[in-house]
Amino acid sequence: MKLKHRLFASLAPVIALAACGGGEPSPQVPSSTVASGSQPTTTPSAPATAEEAKKFVAQVDKELRHLWIARDSAGWVNQNFITDDTEALSAAGEEATAAYVSEAIQKARRFDGVQGIDPDTQRQLLLLKLAQVVPAPSNAAEREELAKLQSEMTATYGKGKYCPPEGHLMAWRTKDADGKPLNPPKACLNLDDLSRIIKKSRNEAELLEAWKGWHSIAPAMKDKYARYAELGNKGAKEIGFADMGALWRSGYDMTPEAFEADIERLWQDVKPLYDDLHCYTRKKLRAKYGKDKIPDKAPIPAHLLGNMWAQEFNNVYDLVEPYPGQGSLDVDKKLKDKRYDATKMVKLGESFFTSLGLDALPKTFWERSLFTRPKDRDVVCHASAWDVTWNDDLRIKMCIEPTEDDLITIHHELGHDYYFHYYYKLPTLFQAGANDGFHEGIGDTLALSVTPEYLKNIGLLDAVPQGDKGKLNFQMKMALDKVAFLPFGLLIDKWRWDVLNGKTPKDKYNEAWWALRTKYQGVAAPAPRSEADFDPGAKFHVPASTPYVRYFLARIYQFQFHRALCKAAGFTGPLDQCSIYGNKEAGKKLRAMLELGQSKPWPEALAVLSGEKKADAGAMLEYFAPLRAWLKDQNKGEQCGW
């Protein structure tokens, strides 16, 4: 599936519990800096008690819910109607929320070390310290500036277009997504259009122009991003963190240092599988594009991998398919042949969840969601899931096309909505995934059950590919998505952590970006780049302030979840052939975990589903074991690595 579609916006400010970073206690924020009527009140001069702590978090729950509803309502409107006015409204919502959270964190310090506080209250007090992804400085003018910068960067991304010179990319400017003629031709191409070229074209010059065209939208963000990082760091330091990256790494029920060690452990477990896949893919792309474009033992140019960010390789499946002719896996053609429109595709996604015994989506979901790109206005088409009023007001916002990628993305976004649905009655600070990787992994877990057998049963494949050759074709298709993404899932936050802690200065932003992409992915820029460029800004999650390592974790978790749900369903065969569709026992296990939200540390939530308390890449390695053996054989004689 395309990670470009990945954001659940309405819970972006809420991340999981962990020990806070170091730093000196910050001074009290004057109440005059917080919106009137939005300050939790305590009595600083009186000794704090456990009962007062309970009352405090109850008040925070009420006020925070009110502010997050206002913020997310403005955010929904802004992303669906991008104008200067809606940008201002969204920024005001962010500012009010950030001001309140900063004030509340300061006042919560009064309860540090108080004896007798019940576990739920204690957890909410700790979660409060991590409740703002971009913490605002106490200075009102700086807080307003920070909120404005966030809205402006997101809007710049949403409005981004490339206008080719006369005569360029005409094959893509004169036809719509279905191949129907356009008259007159498009003067400018948006991200959907440019991504279609990257996905479908096999003309290297076209691919390069589309890649460069989209990345040309980002330099305008560079100065804004540097100032945003400066102000976000200032806010983080005021609430006791070394920098904003340290705050983000504190959200996993362990210290930031332990978390970094844990993700490195997981990466080292899966890196050999990625290296084998990279080596084989490069060999096949070299055969297509030539040794002058892809030399031996060299990184792969980013524009040749079928995805605007080279974050997955699934769109070059036709070039790397192990056994052509061994059964079609072309779901796109079937979706078009059967006239699947956006609503019908979402209905199909919903039917998987309801087959497990989970509830149907509410009527308002169908009335309030955005399924297609409007023709009359700019919108942020990056797919996202929302509970706008934090009261089962479920929606998705997505510009759906009849493709398998988008069908899988629908499962992903509905996974967020079902998580919202099953925990929305919990206290506000518990309304999040056990950690953010859990939230990203739920829908993808169910998508692992979208097997060839399942697709044949619903009429989207004519036949299930048979034998070892058919199985390897399917495994390759899955690996080009799931395995290929892993290093990209790590490097975005590694780049940001180094920016935020000062290791990477502004005049090294782009150099550091491509150094990490080469180191982890074995991917290189397809054209000369300089510090006049700002290629990180061409990826939505950077201007949108969305921490990204969650997606790496989700790739690991989803196979671990899948293994556990298959066991609950009584399945005993190979993991890649398991589908839990229609199994109510698996549905009960899943629901039990969803209902916990963030009320328990994530190892406890994992144990409810699987009986395990540690992230384990073993399930992914088990799933892809047949492909790994085949890749090693295919790579004999190849100079792997870069």
123 labeled part of a ligand binding site: no
pLDDT for the residue 183: 87
Residues 6+ apart with CB under 8 A from 47: none
| pLDDT above 80 (res 23) | no
Looking at the DSSP bridge assignments, the partners of residue 181 are 175
pLDDT for the residue 91: 87
**What's the rounded Cα separation, in Å, for the pair 431 and 389?**
12
**What's the rounded Cα separation, in Å, for the pair 88 and 93?**
9
Backbone angles phi, psi at 192, to 5 degrees: -60, -45
440 labeled part of a ligand binding site: yes
Average pLDDT over residues 200-228: 98
> Hey, is 446 helix, strand or coil?
helix
Average pLDDT over residues 249-267: 95
Average pLDDT over residues 53-81: 94
**What's the rounded Cα separation, in Å, for the pair 447 and 399?**
19
Whether 136 and 98 have beta carbons less than 8 Å apart is answered as yes
DSSP state, residue 612? -
H/E element, 396? strand 394-397
Q: What is the pLDDT of residues 510-542, one digit of tens each?
A: 999 999 999 999 999 999 999 999 999 999 999
Q: What is the pLDDT of residues 436-456, one digit of tens each?
A: 999 999 999 998 998 888 998
How many percent of the chain have pLDDT more than 90? 79
**What's the rounded Cα separation, in Å, for the pair 108 and 58?**
12
Rg (C-alpha) for the chain, rounded Å, is: 24
pLDDT for the residue 45: 58
**What's the rounded Cα separation, in Å, for the pair 464 and 453?**
6
Whether 428 and 64 have beta carbons less than 8 Å apart is answered as yes
Q: Going by DSSP bridges, is the β-strand pair 384-387/394-397 parallel, antiparallel, or unpaired?
A: antiparallel
411 labeled part of a ligand binding site: no
Residues 6+ apart with CB under 8 A from 330: none
Range with lowest mean pLDDT among 33-42, 231-240, 608-617: 33-42
412 labeled part of a ligand binding site: yes
Looking at the DSSP bridge assignments, the partners of residue 395 are 386
Quick one: tokens of 159? 């409005």
Residue appearing with tokens 């059967």 = 338
Mean pLDDT of the chain: 90
User: How far is residue 79 from each of residues 91, 154, 538, 561, measured CA to CA in Å?
Assistant: 12, 9, 17, 32
User: How far is residue 94 from each of residues 35, 62, 67, 101, 115, measured CA to CA in Å?
Assistant: 12, 17, 9, 11, 34
pLDDT band at 47 (very low <50, low <70, confident <90, very high): confident
pTM summary value: 0.87
Whether 14 and 598 have beta carbons less than 8 Å apart is answered as yes
Average pLDDT over residues 130-151: 92
| pLDDT above 80 (res 131) | yes
Quick one: tokens of 563? 């293994």
User: How far is residue 617 from each of residues 131, 313, 641, measured CA to CA in Å?
Assistant: 29, 20, 22
Average pLDDT over residues 389-395: 96
User: Which one-letter amino acid corresponds to residue 446?
Assistant: L
421 labeled part of a ligand binding site: no
Catalytic residues, by residue number, are 413, 541
